[in-house]
């Protein structure tokens, strides 16, 4: 009798476990499928947008540093200019320095953070940008490159939305 009761309890437990785990597995499967679909659908666009965003950041900050009156916002640079025009304008603004130089990298970092702070009040934005500028001066090139890559990747995701 005890064995039959134990068998019924085990069967009931297995049945309940199956009922609980099946929807969970289905939800996990749907999430995985959705992530795969998103990567397949937008992955190429994201990868294509990253260098455009990076050049736009460098150009924006370069123009700000050189106080060019005709400079566009970062968003306008990304959405209104083609990649060749962006590259040409960056080369002109850098005046002989390579787009792979420390100066260009620093320009890119500053602009990327500037855009992240765009929603803040002016005084707070200026304060945070001062901290960014100080921090950039203390980082190695490798650390700055890593930070810029992450920042640009996040920006590109934002522009895909």
| Residue 105 clears pLDDT 80, i.e. is over it | yes
pLDDT for the residue numbered 18? 44
Please provide the distance, in angstroms rounded to a whole number, between the alpha carbons at the two ends of the chain. Answer: 63
CA dist 155 and 71 (Å) reads: 19
> What is the pTM for the complete model shown?
0.73
Instruction: Pick the more confident residue, 4 or 155.
Output: 155
Residue 137 domain flag: yes
Residue 32 domain flag: no
pLDDT for the residue numbered 154? 85
Overall domain count for the chain = 1
Residue 31 domain flag: no
| Residue 2 clears pLDDT 90, i.e. is over it | no
Which pair of structure tokens corresponds to residue 101? Answer: 């130089």
Q: Tens digits of per-residue pLDDT, 43-100?
A: 888 788 999 999 999 999 999 998 887 779 999 999 999 999 999 999 999 999 999 9
pLDDT for the residue numbered 153? 87
Residue 136 domain flag: yes
Residue 6 domain flag: no
DSSP one-letter string for 53-92: HHHHHHHHHHHHHTT-TTPPPHHHHHHHS-HHHHHHHHHH
Report the percentage of the chain scoring pLDDT > 90: 58
pLDDT for the residue numbered 158? 81
Which pair of structure tokens corresponds to residue 122? Answer: 């002016």
Give the chain's mean pLDDT.
83
Residue 2 domain flag: no
Quickly count: other Cβ atoms within 10 Å of residue 155's Cβ: 23
Which residue in 94, 116, 118, 95 sits closest to 106, CA to CA? 94
Answer for the pair 157, 45: CB distance below 8 angstroms, yes or no: no
Which pair of structure tokens corresponds to residue 97? Answer: 């320095």
Rounding to the nearest 10 degrees, give the CA dihedral for residues 53, 89, 82, 64.
50
pLDDT for the residue numbered 8? 54
DSSP structure class, residue 98: -
Quickly count: other Cβ atoms within 10 Å of residue 161's Cβ: 5
3-class secondary-structure state, position 156: helix
Residue 37 domain flag: no
Instruction: Give the residue numbers spanning the domain of 156.
Output: 42-160
Which pair of structure tokens corresponds to residue 115? Answer: 């855009």
Residue 98 domain flag: yes
| Residue 21 clears pLDDT 80, i.e. is over it | no
Confidence of residue 3 (pLDDT cuts 50, 70, 90): low
pLDDT for the residue numbered 68? 81
Confidence of residue 22 (pLDDT cuts 50, 70, 90): very low
């Amino acid at each position: 009798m005890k064995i039959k009761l134990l068998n019924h309890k085990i069967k009931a437990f297995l049945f309940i476990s199956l009922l609980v785990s099946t929807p969970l597995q289905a939800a996990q499967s749907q999430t995985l499928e959705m992530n795969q679909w998103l990567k397949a659908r937008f992955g190429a666009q994201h990868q294509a947008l990253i260098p455009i965003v990076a050049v736009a950041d460098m150009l924006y900050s370069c123009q700000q540093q050189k106080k060019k009156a005709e400079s566009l916002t970062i968003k306008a640079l990304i959405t209104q200019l083609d990649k060749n025009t962006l590259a040409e304008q960056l080369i002109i603004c850098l005046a002989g320095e390579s787009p792979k130089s420390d100066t260009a990298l620093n320009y890119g970092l500053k602009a990327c953070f500037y855009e992240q702070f765009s929603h803040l009040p002016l005084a707070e934005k200026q304060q945070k940008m001062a901290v960014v500028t100080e921090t950039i001066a203390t980082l190695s090139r490798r650390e700055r490159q890593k930070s810029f890559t992450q920042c640009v990747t996040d920006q590109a995701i934002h522009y895909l939305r």
